[in-house]
Amino acid sequence: MGKLYEEITPELAGWIKEQHLFFVATAPLASDGHVNCSPKGLDTLRILGPHRVAYLDLTGSGAETIAHLRENGRIVLMFCALTGSPKILKLHGNGQAITPASPRWVELRALFPDYPGARAIIDVDITRISDSCGYGVPKFEYVEERDALVKWAQAKGTEELPLYQKQKNARSIDDLPGLEPGQ
């Protein structure tokens, strides 16, 4: 049923690009810390090579992924077919949060649409690629992207958004450092 891959092949890359939704999971080192799993959508994922992907991280209610990556780097991205043949694909690896203060920001940011509220780019070096059947995943019909996050960030504007990030994204729920002001 499950298969390991040496790299993201052109076939896998094509399949990944067809998916409208993926999930990101991270965890702190502390055994009593909270595991985080976040759904991602919009045009925010790029395949940068056979062992590397990146996604544009937009401002949200927390900064768990950024905090966990700063602490230990562990991350998994999961894609599951909601239409067509059943399939689940997991990309395990080590990630880092590239923020606007990073010298790499400009180069990577140019790969993505100009979404308001972009706060980081999560750059992942992939160490394990595996699939599984996905037979138990229900089928869903894609209708459209939601525009609520984009509209919310636009409404916050360039003055209020950094204040929100400072208030809501500076620390994780386990009190790990998240998004630092001015990063």
For residue range 142-158, list pLDDT tens digits in order. 999 999 999 999 999 99
Task: Say if residues 24 and 122 touch (Cβ distance below 8 Å).
Answer: yes
User: What's the one-letter identity of residue 8?
Assistant: I
In which band, very low, low, confident or very high, does the pLDDT at 183 lie, cut at 50, 70 and 90?
low
Distance, CA of 24 to CA of 16 (rounded, Å) = 14
Distance, CA of 117 to CA of 61 (rounded, Å) = 12
Distance, CA of 58 to CA of 65 (rounded, Å) = 11
The neighbour count for residue 6, using CB atoms within 10 Å, is 8
**What is the rounded average pLDDT of the residues 104-122?**
97
Top-tier CATH class for 3-168: mainly beta
**What is the rounded average pLDDT of the residues 47-58?**
98
The dihedrals phi and psi of 106, each to the nearest 5 degrees, come to: -60, -45
Q: What is the pTM of this model?
A: 0.95
pLDDT in tens, 4-39: 999 999 999 999 999 999 999 999 999 999 999 999
The neighbour count for residue 138, using CB atoms within 10 Å, is 7
Question: Does residue 1 carry a pLDDT above 70?
Answer: no
Q: What is the DSSP string of 29-85?
A: SSTTSPPEEEEE-SS-EEEEETTEEEEEEEP-S--HHHHHHHHT-EEEEEEE-SSSS
Nearest to 125 by CA among 87, 170, 91: 91
Predicted local confidence at residue 26, as pLDDT = 98
pLDDT in tens, 114-145: 999 999 999 999 999 999 999 999 999 999 99
Structural domain spans, the chain: 3-168
Predicted local confidence at residue 180, as pLDDT = 78
Distance, CA of 21 to CA of 81 (rounded, Å) = 9
